[in-house]
Structure 1
Amino acid sequence: MAENLVENSTSPAATKNNKVVVIYSGGMDSFTVLNRAIKDGKQLYALSFDYGQKHVKELEYAANVCKELNIPHKIIDITSINQLLAGSSLTDDIDIPEGHYEEESMKSTVVPNRNMILLSLAVGYAVSVEASQVYYGAHSGDHAIYPDCRPEFVEKMNDVCKIANYQEVEIYSPYLTQSKIDILTDGISMGLDYAKTWTCYNGREKACGACGACQERLEAFKENGITDPLSYE
């Protein structure tokens, strides 16, 4: 089943080399993408961003995983862009909403133009290390709230990134049309330990269990018939 998930997603184009940049937040989805790239036989360069989110707990998890796997990893501080990108509950003094991603209130978690900015930086890094792809963890569960995770956005960004430099770079989203449930299914098939990930929008000692990120994660574990290894409030 897990192999079909990857086959049914956007197929990677023929690559000139085995190098890829993986946008790696430290969360459940990007952790699976990172390991999917390893499974695909790629030479990885992991890239994480501190964009002024309310906590850096995810980034700490990302750093630990990359150290354990001996993957080159950069955490880039782009917090200065927050003076331009106001209005998100993930970065501003606004309460993080509770509820499912499909609820209207979750739109407050949108950071304006975030993924276009992050993908542009990742593509620039890919060109500098002569990587042919950027692996990116967009999935169908994000489509309702986040326009920059939808297939049409990824398709258009891919078109631009193929002509923006002398070197063509492909944006590859292996789970673009799959759900978080499917992502976890694939991760389970790879034997991944999700205790090494952090998903919650809050950075407290334990995950809150109430924000959209937590609810979708818990739903994925429930549908896969296993218990989330993280502790919840």
Structure 2
Amino acid sequence: MSEKAVVIYSGGMDSFTVLNLAINQGYEVLALSFNYGQRHVKELDYAKFVCAELNIPHKIVDISAINSLLAGSSLTDDIEIPEGHYEEDSMKSTVVPNRNMILLSMAVAYAISSEATKVFYGAHSGDHAIYPDCRPEFVEKMKAVCAIADYQATDIVTPFLHQSKIEILAKGLELGLDYSKTWTCYNGREKACGKCGACQERLEAFKLNNQTDPLDYE
């Protein structure tokens, strides 16, 4: 029997690549998505479609009731999404307070109850500038805690922690992945805005891989 692994799957291109990487590595994957009241909840439709297509177990957990505890972020509050690159200070408004610790805690609980030994999530080096919960020191501490938080140790796996979105896309293209099945834009409108940090980083990754992004932009 294959080793089980929970993959935190947002529906974006990073977690889409991580999901497929885990499948390719032979894990029995359990996909886990969260509705935490994010403005770009549209990403969950993409996650649902991909998991149905791959025929893998997929849970979408509605934790939007805690949205009032996650105030102050432009992703969950009535604050305008900033435009510009992730390296700009203005993008700090997209930080959701303690998001990854919350999501990882629930993913680890699901892993333990499902007898999965690993939890994968898509932190990468491009996130390090503004997202503290994607930095190596955070991952290190979470790995240590999750190894002793229950009778069953759970390993936190971040295959792209020291790689950029450019390198993530290169790996996905190598795997033959179709990125039209992913949503990245922080604005959950009909088309991607092309101006928020998430869109700019995505477009940059496609450009530097000599590829055209299959998504439609405003």
Identify whether the pair has TM-score above 0.5, normalized to the shorter chain: yes
Show structure 2 runs of 5+ residues with no match. none
Q: How does 1:134-213 map to 2 (within 5 A)?
A: 134-213=119-198
2:110 equivalent to 1:125: yes
SS in 1 for 2:167: helix
2:86 equivalent to 1:98: no
Conserved? CA contact 2:72–2:93, under 8 Å: yes
Per-residue deviation, residues 34-90 of structure 1 (Å, max 9, x unmatched): 000011110000000000011321000000000000010000000111111210000
Where has structure 1 moved over 2 Å in runs of 4 or more?
none
Q: Which residue does the alignment assign to 2:215?
A: 230
The residue type paired with residue 26 of structure 1 is: G
Q: Which residue does the alignment assign to 2:60?
A: 75
Show structure 1 runs of 5+ residues with no match. 1-15
Q: How much does 1:17 deviate?
A: 5.9
SS in 2 for 1:230: coil
TM-score, length-scaled by structure 2: 0.99
Per-residue deviation, residues 103-159 of structure 1 (Å, max 9, x unmatched): 000000000000000000000000000000001100000000000000000000000
2:54 equivalent to 1:64: no
Choose from 30, 38, 43 the match for 1:45.
30
Q: Which residue does the alignment assign to 1:114?
A: 99
Conserved? CA contact 1:17–1:132, under 8 Å: no
2:46 equivalent to 1:54: no
The farther-off stretch of 29-38 and 16-25 is 16-25
Conserved? CA contact 1:137–1:176, under 8 Å: yes
Q: How many residues align?
A: 218
